[in-house]
Amino acid sequence: MTIMETTTTPTVTLRNGVEMPIVGYGVYQVAKEDAARCVADAIEVGYRHIDTAQAYYNEQEVGEGIKASGIDRADLFVTTKVWIDRYGYEETLKSVDESLCRLGTGYIDLLLLHQPFSDVYGSWHALEKLYRDGVVRSIGVSNFYPDRLADLCAFNEIAPMVNQVETNPFHQQVAAHEHMVARGVVHEAWAPFGEGRNGMFVNETLTAIGAKYGKSVAQVIMRWLVQRGVVALAKSTHRERMIENLDVFDFSLTDADMATIAGMDDETSLFFDHRTPETVDFMVGLIKERAGRE
């Protein structure tokens, strides 16, 4: 993976040559009534990478925000994800067509399988077709642990280009990162702030590091991810926080800072472990919940 400095947000280069901004704006848990405004605000303050998903129920509003921004489509990198109740070859193709209609973006820059369950192979073959047909510019997965990622890389014509996993100072995914790098898969972080769990925003270690540079804890975390070569997705509904989370390219953490943060790793998810039966049961519950909303 190559990180290329630009006059705006640095980018990483995916295996197929597509450039992906290393900092993005995520809309998970952004309410439908706020999503269009938030996306337009994020684009206005400088974000060029927008991350949504079928399961976030705001693809249409994301598309409205993109349209309202007036930005040239070619200047944006848009990600969405296929939810597990739409897995299977034909169903995945149909669901992506629906996502494109909601987004109104003409094509998708990065399409991910959202979870490592159900008919992963049928859906992956659908993503390969969409990639070959030019409907999507790059394809990947989310929440795939090293064994599942290695499986997809080894036994498919097109290997995942990105793996989006929970990554934050308390769950750093060091071993998983090494496996991704070895397979040419770009590591992307969801929940970089852990939704504030474990006192993330008031952590004394992160606060002290930030004080040296006049930066917030959130900015320290974003910079830490960037220096690891990890694509970071930040979410906020507040314009001033959007600006803050993007303003991380005017300072660098020292090797000592990076080592200190490395010492915070508990190697434990702040949310759930995708390798447990309980997580599968949880996902089944989410599918039933989704069915009740549609």
User: What residue ranges do the domains of the chain occupy?
Assistant: 2-293
Contact (CB, 8 A) for 68 and 42: no
pLDDT at 2 over 50: no
User: With a threshold of 0.85, does the pTM exceed it?
Assistant: yes
Q: How far apart are CA 187 and CA 224, in angstroms?
A: 13
Mean pLDDT over the full length of the chain = 95
Q: Which residues are catalytic?
A: 56
pLDDT for the residue numbered 293: 60
pLDDT tens digits along 232-277: 999 999 999 999 999 999 999 999 999 999 999 999 999 988 989 9
Mean pLDDT, residues 101-116 taken together: 98
Contact (CB, 8 A) for 132 and 101: no
Q: Strand 186-190 relative to strand 231-234: parallel, antiparallel, unpaired?
A: parallel
Name the band, by pLDDT with cuts 50, 70 and 90, for residue 94: very high
Strand partners, 190: 166
pLDDT for the residue numbered 4: 40
Query: What homologous superfamily is domain 2-293 in, according to CATH?
Result: NADP-dependent oxidoreductase domain (3.20.20.100)
pLDDT for the residue numbered 289: 79
Query: Which of 37-41, 214-218, 241-245, 277-281 is the least confident region?
Result: 277-281
pLDDT at 29 over 90: yes
Name the band, by pLDDT with cuts 50, 70 and 90, for residue 5: very low
Name the band, by pLDDT with cuts 50, 70 and 90, for residue 287: confident
- Six-digit token pair at 118? 């159900």
Sign of CA dihedral 272, 275, 276, 282: positive
pLDDT for the residue numbered 284: 87
Is 49 a known ligand-binding residue?
no
pLDDT tens digits along 117-147: 999 999 999 999 999 999 999 999 999 999 9
Name the band, by pLDDT with cuts 50, 70 and 90, for residue 291: low
Q: How far apart are CA 6 and CA 2, in angstroms?
A: 13
